Chain A
Amino acid sequence: MIFYFRELLLPALVLMPVLLVPLSRLFRTARGALWFGFAGNSLAGLAGCGAIVCVFLFGKIYAAGDWLMLDMLSAWHLAVLLLITMLCSLYSVIYFLRESQAGKFDLKTARRYVMLSLGSLSAIVLTLLSNNLGMMWVGLEATTLLTAFLICLNATPTALEAMWKYLLMCSVGVALAFAGILIVAASTSAAHFEQPEFLLWSRMMESAGQLDARLLKVGFIFLVVGFGTKAGLAPMHSWLPDAHSQAPAPVSAVFSGFLLNAALYCILRYVPLLDAALGGGGWAGGILVLFGLVSILIAAVFIVAQRDLKRLLAYSSVEHMGIIALGIGLGGLGVFAALFHVLNHSLCKTLSFFCAGRLDQKYGAHDMRKLTGILKTSPVWGTGLFGGLLALIGLAPFAVFISEFLVLKAAWDKGAIWALALFVTGLCIVFVGVLRHAIAMAWEDAPHGMERERIRGLELFLMALPLATLLTLGLWMPEPLNSFLTQAAAILGGK
């Protein structure tokens, strides 16, 4: 009985959000449609929780002729995804209702937002659950197409330019990744996989010894550059600051909070494959370390020169994707740290975008020189932004500090002194660059005539939950989370 239930759970998870889409037509007000979006995301969240508990209790789940698979690694990413999308859909109710008061948001846009966000949720879940590497690519391609229209929800010229840049760069990236998959497929010719088992990750892992290692290496480079474009790894990141700064805040939060991770996840799946085929880790890790360090340093330079809050947050995403790639590349403890960092970064980046969006509505600007006195004028979102920025730069009691420290330790253990030095340099530059702005925004005098905002319960909850979680995880790691992360890291050959 329970066996059949598990068989059905994974396809249901993929299909449910997209099947809910037509129902959004039933709602006659923007408010109703937005709350429906939240309900849909929560429903997916509940089903996802069920699936994750199943994995915990019974181990890996396969479904749909082994084309879908949920193991600890995908379960971890799924958990972060569903948490982030739930928070974002709740926030979107607050954010867009304020927009509609300003006359910038109507029922039609609300429906479009809900349809596109539920559709892209389905696509991301498909990416995470695919055991078939071809299907995984299809999922990621679909997210690119759907999210492009979320950027230009308000079709201003700058938003359109950002959308075009995003579409063009990411479609080239997706095409490169497709070439990579073709090469990886060519490398399996000696193993003679037949149709339904062809390109299944789990089958390829079992017979990794028969794969052509040289072709696999060539394919991996294509895949890292291709998927890396979507993941915002430098130097392929140039679409990212435009898209993140032009999209509405709830969309930017999902973009930064999870979409980048979904693309990175696709790269991660190939790392153990290469390690197994090459008979010993290191080669794929080395490439990831390289891209990680380049991302951290390039982002650090741009963060210092930044005046626009949302662009600052976007570059900070490039930096954090770099940290995750670096951790995975270093291996050992680094994998555990990187996976922990996925949650930490997603939480504090969504929080920061929430605050940036609401402050933008209040001040009418996301230029940091105009956003002054935020603690006084907006006690909730001002505190959230200040706390979020401090967490982002890795200040001590927050969980980001712990995961960054563990990545440092992994570099030290491995004797990668150069990587360690460059990583610390990048962190220091970002620390100073962001702190300078954060202090000015918090304590400089507010613009004249700016009123203090009332504190609302729901807004307080949305701000306090991520911040409190980050603080708690920084001080205390619960045992189930620890074992979850350890088992997920083991799949990538970590500690």
Chain B
Amino acid sequence: MMNNLVDLVLAFLLLSGFGLLGSSRLVSCIRISAAQGIALGFLILAGNFGALSLRVMLIVAAVVALKGFVFPRLLVRALRESETSREVQPFVGYVGSLVIGVVILIVSFWLGLKAALPVASSLMVTVAFFLFLTGLFLIIARKTAVNQVVGYLVMENGIYTFGFAAAGEIPALVELGVLLDVFVAVFVMGIAIYRINSTFDHIDSDQLRSLRG
């Protein structure tokens, strides 16, 4: 029963990755990443159902609260206040992104089979790699700062999934991963305080040349 639930959540995580690659509105990207954060919490709960300890509960609480509610809310607010475009502004188009998503999925399946880590299901490793690479792709291929933060969150979700797949019983290490969220906090702060809209558009091309090569 629990295994079915794990598979269901993993399938949702895969689909949400494609949702991020294909969606054109920033607000829906943020919503999908929030849903992903909550799903991640379910995954950790379901994966450790036999041995639910206080430690696992606390991690789940922290992950769901931060990724599911706090960061999305802050990002939406930053988006509203910075009065920038609500569009994603991709360097790579939506269809291209989806094609790359399929390629990433194939590579992840291959890595999941190849890695042969000491884990319960190799599907978990596949999903971890898929989220990780998708996040990385979103950071590189999207122009707006908010979207890059979403990409970073997705990448982090991959690392969490991996951490619980490969290293579930490892003491006091997965908790350290929560520190990665400090970066997200700083990103959001950067957007809110310094009004960073997108990586390049606030600088005219003349100045841009000075930061090249």
Knowing A163-B190, A305-B213, the reply to whether A141 touches B179 (Cβ < 8 A) is: yes
Tell me how far the C-beta of A370 lies from the nearest C-beta in chain B, rounded to whole angstroms: 13
Q: Which residues of A contact B190 (CB under 8 A)?
A: 163-164, 167
Residues of B within 8 A of A157 (CB): 202-203, 207
Verify B199–A182 contact, CB threshold 8 A. Answer: no
**Which of A158, A160, A172 is the most central at the interface, judged by chain B CB atoms within 10 Å of its CB?**
A172
A167 touching B159, Cβ below 8 Å: no
Q: Which residues of B contact A306 (CB under 8 A)?
A: 213
Q: Is the interface of A mostly helix, strand, loop or mixed?
A: helix
Cβ-based interface call for B53 (8 A): no
> Which size class do A's interface residues fall under?
35 or more
Main secondary structure of the interface of B (DSSP, over half): helix
Tell me the smallest distance from the CB of A26 to a CB of chain B, in Å: 27
Interface residues of A in 146-185 (CB under 8 A from B): 148, 152, 155, 157-158, 160-165, 167-168, 171-172, 174-175, 178-179, 181-183, 185
Please, which residue of chain B has its CB at the minimum distance from the CB of A157? B203
The verdict on A242 contacting chain B, using a C-beta distance below 8 Å, is yes
Q: Could you say which of B145, B156, B179, B183 contacts A138, with CB atoms under 8 Å apart? A: B179
Contact B213 A164 (CB under 8 A): no
How many angstroms from the CA of A162 to the CA of B194 in the assembled complex?
A: 13
The CA-CA distance from A155 to B145 in the complex, in Å, is 17
The A/B interface has a contact count, at CB < 8 Å, of 105
B152 touches A168 (CB 8 A): yes
CB pair A182 B162 closer than 8 Å: yes
Contact B115 A179 (CB under 8 A): no
* A155 near B194: Cβ-Cβ < 8 Å: yes
Interface residue count for B (Cβ, 8 Å)? 40
Which residues from chain B contact A183 at a C-beta distance below 8 Å?
166
Measured between alpha carbons, how far is A155 from B200 in the docked complex, in Å? Answer: 16
Given A179-B162, A185-B167, is A172 in contact with B152 using a C-beta cutoff of 8 Å? yes
Interchain CB contact under 8 A, A198 and B172: yes
Q: Which of chain A's residues have a CB closer than 8 A to the CB of B213?
A: 302, 305-306
A167 to B183, Cβ gap below 8 A? yes
Binding site for A on B (CB under 8 A): 115, 117-118, 132, 136, 139, 145, 148, 152, 155-156, 159, 162-163, 166-167, 170-174, 176-177, 179-180, 182-183, 186-187, 190, 194, 196, 199-200, 202-203, 207, 210-211, 213
Residue pairs across A and B with Cβ atoms less than 8 A apart, 30 shown, are: A137-B176, A141-B182, A141-B183, A160-B194, A160-B196, A161-B199, A161-B200, A161-B203, A164-B190, A164-B196, A165-B199, A167-B186, A167-B187, A167-B190, A168-B152, A172-B155, A175-B183, A178-B159, A178-B176, A178-B180, A179-B159, A181-B173, A182-B162, A182-B170, A185-B167, A186-B170, A189-B118, A218-B115, A245-B211, A302-B213
